[in-house]
Amino acid sequence: MSTSAAEHLSPAFPERAAWGTAGKLRAWQEQALALYLHKDAKDFLAVATPGAGKTTYALRIATELLDRGVVRAVTVVAPTEHLKTQWADAAARVGIHLNPSFSNSVGVQSSEYDGVALTYAQVGVNPGLHRRRTEGEPTLVILDEIHHGGDAKSWGDGIREAFEPATRRLSLTGTPFRSDANPIPFVRYEMGHDGILRSASDYSYGYAPALRDGVVRPVIFLAYGGAMRWRTKAGDEIAARLGEPMTKDQTAHAWRTALDPRGEWVPSVLAAADVRLTEVRRHVPDAGGLVIASNQNSARAYARILREITGEATTVVLSDDAGASERIEEFATGTQRWMVAVRMVSEGVDVPRLCVGVYATSTSTPLFFAQAVGRFVRARRRGETASVFLPSVPVILTHAATMEEERDHALNRPTSDESEASLWAEEEGMIAAANRADPTVGLEETGFEALESDAHFDHVLFDKTQFGLHAEVGSEEEQDYLGLPGLLEPDQVATLLRERQARQARSGGRPAPATSGPTPVAAHRALAAQRKELNKLVAAYSAKTGSPHASIHLDLRRACGGPELATATSDQVTERVAKIRQWFVGRR
């Protein structure tokens, strides 16, 4: 192994360097390497935005320390099984041979290896074993996505016990902030002027400077709202529009209703995302798309919908096992259009060809959102952009608008933030449950029933600026935004978005509904009676056939045309009443 080998490793393994970067290392990697060697400290924390090239940076440090005789072994600790293999493959390219299959039960390995690749969970199970290994010879420990050291007390205590005797510890993260207050081992905390202890990095390279350097892609967020209707545990039917002001509980239920694959929101948004992917593939032929789902049942359903839309098989990744890792690798090196996953690709996994994403999960922490969006930002060539489709939920839109803000992990937040910490812990549990074989979360919540959903294009969010006016799905106005070229510089993206917004305004496009909502068609007594009659017929037909209400309403819209029931005209409702009566007598 040698530093010369590391010099030939791509600045952003596994793909070649992005445009405009140094031939050997990117500028930030050079700076961070020089600072590391100058400090010559036992602990070093490097924060770099996803896609910036943390793996290359860490391996360059490893080769430097090995060549200088400072260490004789390398241990990498990563969040998932898949990442262990990814690290081992990258290390092999610079002559460092790591064993990703090291077993706690065996406890020893062949002398041909220069070290091991482990998971945080693996260390937490038997920290004593890994402490003895670390004490056996001078070791560099690379802690990838170190914030996971605060995931559970056993993980934090485990890595602290196992790697306290390490000669050097290099901690890496792309998202250093957490919503809880669990201390992260080997991370230095400093008191701020406001009296709050926050994590202190030794080197930081955020999304904003990486975007300026062309190291990462700019992200275009496309937000979709729509009319939602659901039944509560108390049996009450509620209707609301996703994206409009409502209570916290109503927002959560409207969001859950939108994500129900039996409604119209998901199929409409997936179809729009596939149109966008087709446009991107005109310039980036191998561009791929990723849907991040809340649970396994939804993931499978989304995959079926995508197959109907595209006519192609969809890669489905449901859990952190060997089969899932192989499917990710196959997708990463292939040309398939879509992959659907629950969590496996939310963090650290390199699939550089991912250009289009659909955030179809109810997870709302800033940590998870940043990790998810990070899957789409790795740049491979000049002008590539990422497009991520979002539900019009205020907390998610806020995360999208503040992507460039840098955050640190705070230990002693004021008590007003305790609810946020509780939410984070709850969502982590939901994600873990979603990855189990028998999911019990999300749309399966007892007593809640999603009845009907509809999708509308709300706006585009780019560089903290909102573009576009409210438009129907499938309209020329929506297609105008979906058809943005796949290769654009950031300033070109902004220019084209402004032009499209102006054109939409000139053509009579209307702004998003006001906070008071559109004028309800139910104000007319006759129309209200017609809607009531239709809903009674749908309920009766549901009891007869076993089909969900939302599916029947969707079938009626497909058969008769027109908008969702809330905005249908008297004639359109009358036509649907006549159609469902025909179905009762077997006339489809």
Can you give the pLDDT at residue 14? 43
- Which helix (H) or strand (E) is 358 found in, with range? strand 354-360
Q: Name the more confident of 374 and 141.
A: 141
d(CA 30, CA 27): 5
* Average pLDDT value for the chain: 81
Distance CA 411, CA 421 (A): 11
Residues facing 199 on adjacent strands: 189
- Is residue 344 predicted with pLDDT exceeding 70? no
**Per-residue pLDDT tens over the stretch 413-441:** 554 444 444 444 444 444 444 444 333 33
Model pTM score? 0.69
The reported pLDDT for the residue numbered 578 is 83
pLDDT at 463 over 60: yes
State the pLDDT confidence band at 348, using cuts at 50, 70 and 90: low
DSSP 312-356: S--EEE-SSSHHHHHHHHHHHHS--SEEEESSTTSSS---TTEEE
pLDDT 10s digits, 360-402: 998 888 878 888 888 888 888 878 899 999 999 999 998 888 7
Determine whether 97 is exposed, middle or buried from the number of CB atoms within 10 Å of its CB (0-12, 13-18, 19+).
middle
Distance, C-alpha 500 to centroid of its chain: 27
Residue 226's pLDDT is 92
The predicted pLDDT at position 62 comes to: 96
**Confidence (pLDDT) at 522:** 32
Three-state DSSP class for 126? coil
Looking at residue 135, its pLDDT comes to 95
Sign (positive or negative) of CA dihedral 240, 245, 247, 252: positive
Amino acid at 314: T
Distance CA 549, CA 551 (A): 5
DSSP codes joined into one string, 195-248: S-EEEE-SEEE-HHHHHHTTSB--EEEEEEEEEEEEE-TTS-EEEEEETS---H
Q: Check: CB of residue 4 under 8 Å from CB of residue 11.
A: no
Lowest mean pLDDT among 368-377, 402-411, 530-539, 574-583: 402-411
pLDDT band at 119 (very low <50, low <70, confident <90, very high): very high
**Residues of the chain with pLDDT > 90: what percent?**
37
pLDDT of residue 404: 59
Distance of CA 479 to the CA centre of its chain: 24
**Kind plus residue range of the DSSP H or E element containing 391:** strand 386-391
Distance separating alpha carbons of residues 321 and 330, to the nearest angstrom: 14
Count Cβ atoms below 10 Å from residue 571 Cβ, excluding itself.
10
Choice among 8-22, 56-70, 390-404 with the minimum mean pLDDT:
8-22
pLDDT at 347: 57
Residues 6+ apart with CB under 8 A from 60: 3, 6, 7, 9, 25, 29, 33, 94
Considering only CA atoms, which of 362, 262, 349 is closest in space to residue 304? 262
Is residue 5's pLDDT more than 80? Answer: no
Nearest to 173 by CA among 154, 182, 157, 186: 186
State the SS3 of 488-554.
CCHHHHHHHHHHHHHHHHHCCCCCCCCCCCCCCHHHCHHHHHHHHHHHHHHHHHHHHHCCCHHHHHH
Compute the average pLDDT of residues 527-547. 78
**Which position has the higher pLDDT, 11 or 460?**
460
The more confidently predicted of residues 551 and 161 is 161
Predicted confidence (pLDDT) at residue 350 exceeds the cutoff of 90? no
Going by pLDDT thresholds of 50, 70 and 90, the confidence category of residue 357 is very high
Pairing between β-strand 203-205 and β-strand 73-78 as defined by DSSP bridges? unpaired
pLDDT given at position 323: 76
In this predicted structure, the answer to whether residue 256 has a pLDDT above a threshold of 80 is yes
Beta bridge partners of 88: none
Cis preceding-peptide flag for 285 (omega within 30 of 0): no
Mean pLDDT confidence for 248-272: 93
Chain centroid to CA 416: how far? 27
Q: Taking the C-alpha atoms of 417, 419, 423 and 426 in order, what is their torsion angle to the nearest 10 degrees? A: 130
More confident call, 238 vs 512: 238
Q: Looking at per-residue confidence, does 552 or 391 come out higher?
A: 391
At how many degrees (to 10) do helices 394-401 and 366-373 cross?
60
pLDDT, position 328: 86
| Better-scored residue on pLDDT, 199 or 442 | 199
Tell me if 1 sits within 8 A of 61, measured CB to CB. Answer: no
3-state secondary structure of 308: helix
pLDDT: which is higher, 9 or 121: 121
At 512, is the pLDDT very low, low, confident or very high (cuts 50, 70, 90)? very low
pLDDT over threshold 60, residue 110: yes
